Amino acid sequence: MKIFNRYTPLQIGIHLYAWSALAWILFELLTDSFSINPIQELEQRTGRHAITLLVLSLVCTPLNTIFKFPELLKRRRALGLYALLYAAIHVLIFINLDYGLAWSLIVRTIFEKPYIIVGALSFLLMIPLGVTSFDIWKVRLGKNWKRLHQVVYLIAPLAALHYLWSKKGDILTLSGDIVRPVIYGLILAIFLILRIPVVRKYIASLTTGKLALPFKKNPQPKVDAS
Ligand code: HEM
């Protein structure tokens, strides 16, 4: 099929997954099967999809270190940009549908609810990364490009904290609605630890050792010619 010549299965999978949330929302809206609390549902679903895509963009590098699948590295940009798209929709829903562009009320709410400040910080930091994610900016910014894009290590924990904080519950007893955000936080923590250079090197040495083993030529026993 022509499509498979132009796009890899991973690329197709990422695009399908990214659009699936909007498609599903549209389908439920058109079939009148959407939530009875549509604004909150829209806000929550777009927020969850944004953070999921953000986490997926971060797990590409460690997964490549473990499984040696370099195509993952090429897909980080698409995942990051989709995360920004969903975060922008999430914010627009908050500003427009939830608060009807009542700016003074929006500002008051932001300062009354610290989890929104954290979310806003995460969102604002995502914007320069999205804008400079294109190759032309890589060339323009040179070494600073990598430095700038390391801000994602701050953005993702902030988004996870925003998610956790937006929920009612007790983190110690894991009661309430906080199991899901705690799982996100744990996945994020594990994959961020895997990105620490010393850990990364260790994993890489382990995996190359393991992967190399089956292909290593077995040393031939010396045959005594006499
Ligand atoms: C200006 C920036 C932001 C604002 C004003 C904002 C606002 C909100 C609000 C009001 C809620 C609570 C919804 C509810 O339960 O009724 C929420 C939840 C959430 N937000 Fe944000 N947010 C922002 C940025 C972000 C960003 C950048 C992300 C992710 C990358 C994000 C992900 C989430 C998630 C995952 C939830 C919880 C969804 C759920 O309850 O299942 N938000 N946000």
In this model, does residue 144 exceed pLDDT 60? yes
Least confident among 6-20, 142-156, 190-204 = 190-204
Within-domain flag for 147: yes
Residue 114: per-residue pLDDT: 94
Within-domain flag for 213: no
Residue 215: per-residue pLDDT: 43
Within-domain flag for 93: yes
Residue 125: CA atoms inside 13 Å, Cβ hemisphere, count? Answer: 19
Within-domain flag for 63: yes
Q: Which of 40, 58, 90 to mutate to test ligand 1, by most ligand atoms within 8 A of the CB atom? A: 90
Nearest residue (by CA) to ligand 1, atom 2, is 120
Q: Which residue has the higher pLDDT, 65 or 136?
A: 136
Stretch 178-196: mean pLDDT: 92
Least confident among 35-44, 53-62, 198-207 = 198-207
Residues 146-166 pLDDT 10s: 999 999 999 999 999 999 999
- Beta carbon of 50 within 6 Å of any ligand 1 atom: yes
Spatial separation of the C-alpha atoms in residues 101 and 96, rounded to whole Å: 5
- Beta carbon of 163 within 6 Å of any ligand 1 atom: yes
Average pLDDT, the chain: 90
- Beta carbon of 43 within 6 Å of any ligand 1 atom: yes
Stretch 174-186: mean pLDDT: 89
- Beta carbon of 37 within 6 Å of any ligand 1 atom: no
63 Cα–ligand 1 center, Å? 27
Within-domain flag for 15: yes
57 Cα–ligand 1 center, Å? 18
Within-domain flag for 215: no
Within-domain flag for 46: yes
pLDDT band at residue 98 using 50, 70 and 90 as cut-offs: very high
140 Cα–ligand 1 center, Å? 33
Stretch 125-137: mean pLDDT: 97
Residue 209: per-residue pLDDT: 65
- Beta carbon of 156 within 6 Å of any ligand 1 atom: no
How many structural domains compose the chain? Answer: 1
Nearest residue (by CA) to ligand 1, atom 38, is 44
Within-domain flag for 226: no
Residue 168: per-residue pLDDT: 86
Q: Which residues span the domain enclosing 99?
A: 2-168+176-208
What percentage of the chain exceeds 70 in pLDDT?
91
- Beta carbon of 88 within 6 Å of any ligand 1 atom: no
Spatial separation of the C-alpha atoms in residues 157 and 148, rounded to whole Å: 16
- pTM, full prediction: 0.90
165 Cα–ligand 1 center, Å? 10
- Beta carbon of 44 within 6 Å of any ligand 1 atom: yes
Q: Which residue has the higher pLDDT, 133 or 172?
A: 133
Residue 174: per-residue pLDDT: 76
Spatial separation of the C-alpha atoms in residues 108 and 164, rounded to whole Å: 21
Nearest residue (by CA) to ligand 1, atom 41, is 44
Residues 42-89 pLDDT 10s: 999 999 999 999 999 999 999 998 899 999 999 999 999 999 999 999
